[in-house]
């Protein structure tokens, strides 16, 4: 079962993706500074329509996709999204990733959203470990992982190919 959704904090609502979220996600995924550390190019409208269908299908870690994707709303506006996917069912491991609009940077929105979601992932899905892999140059994401209590465990050289800079190093926490 996915966590009881929507989840609410004092400021935020976390809910499953809806097909009409494509414009809201396009607003920040289309920005080069957001896509800089992602594996995809900045989104265009066609990409947004495709991606939102993919995200909407990620409706539970125990479902066929083995993934849960939620949007984060602040004051009724989508400002980010968090995705969690199983990486090892037997050992109860999952990976988490987040993308937020630069418009909310420095306001604690990403940390608040993840702090609301993560306890449900452990409790409702029996996860033993949640990891976050990121481009090691993405210091904002690394700081968020630290605020969430994650520990940097490794740096992998040329672990994956970044379209902008070629071979990239990634960190895991």
CA dist 2 to 12, 109, 111, 118, Å? 18, 21, 20, 12
* Fold category of 7-133 in CATH: Aminopeptidase (3.40.630)
Angle subtended by helix axes 139-147 and 109-125, to nearest 10: 50
Query: What whole-number percentage of the chain has pLDDT above 90?
Result: 76
Provide the residue ranges of all domains of the chain, joining segments of one domain with +. Answer: 7-133
Q: What is the pLDDT of residue 137?
A: 84
CA distance 118 to 162: 28
Does the pLDDT of residue 3 top 80, yes or no? no
Task: Find out whether 173 and 96 touch, Cβ atoms under 8 Å.
Answer: no
Burial class (CB in 10 A: 0-12, 13-18, 19+), 98: buried
What tokens appear for 130 in the block? 């949640």
Does the pLDDT of residue 163 top 70, yes or no? no
Q: To the nearest whole number, what is the mean pLDDT of the chain?
A: 90
Task: Find out whether 35 and 10 touch, Cβ atoms under 8 Å.
Answer: no
Burial class (CB in 10 A: 0-12, 13-18, 19+), 144: buried
Indicate the pairing of strand 77-88 with strand 154-162. unpaired
CA distance 168 to 173: 17
Q: What is the pLDDT of residues 6-43, one digit of tens each?
A: 999 999 999 999 999 999 999 999 999 999 989 889 99
Query: Pick the residue with more confidence: 117 or 168?
Result: 117
Q: What is the mean pLDDT of residues 52-57?
A: 96
């Amino acid at each position: 079962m996915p966590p009881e959704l929507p989840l609410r904090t004092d400021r935020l609502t976390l809910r499953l993706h809806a097909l009409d979220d494509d414009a809201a996600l396009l607003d920040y995924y289309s920005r080069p500074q957001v896509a800089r550390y992602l594996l995809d190019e900045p989104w265009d409208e066609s990409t947004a329509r495709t991606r939102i269908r993919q995200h909407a299908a990620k409706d539970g870690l125990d479902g066929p996709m083995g993934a849960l994707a939620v949007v984060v709303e602040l004051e009724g506006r989508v400002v980010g999204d968090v995705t969690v996917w199983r990486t090892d069912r037997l050992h109860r491991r999952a990976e988490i990733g987040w993308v937020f609009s630069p418009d909310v940077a420095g306001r604690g929105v990403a940390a608040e959203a993840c702090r609301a979601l993560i306890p449900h992932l452990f409790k409702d899905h029996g996860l033993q470990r949640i990891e976050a892999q990121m481009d090691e140059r993405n210091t904002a994401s690394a700081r968020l992982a630290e605020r969430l209590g994650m520990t940097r465990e490794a740096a992998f050289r040329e672990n994956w190919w970044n379209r902008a800079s070629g071979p990239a190093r990634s960190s895991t926490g």
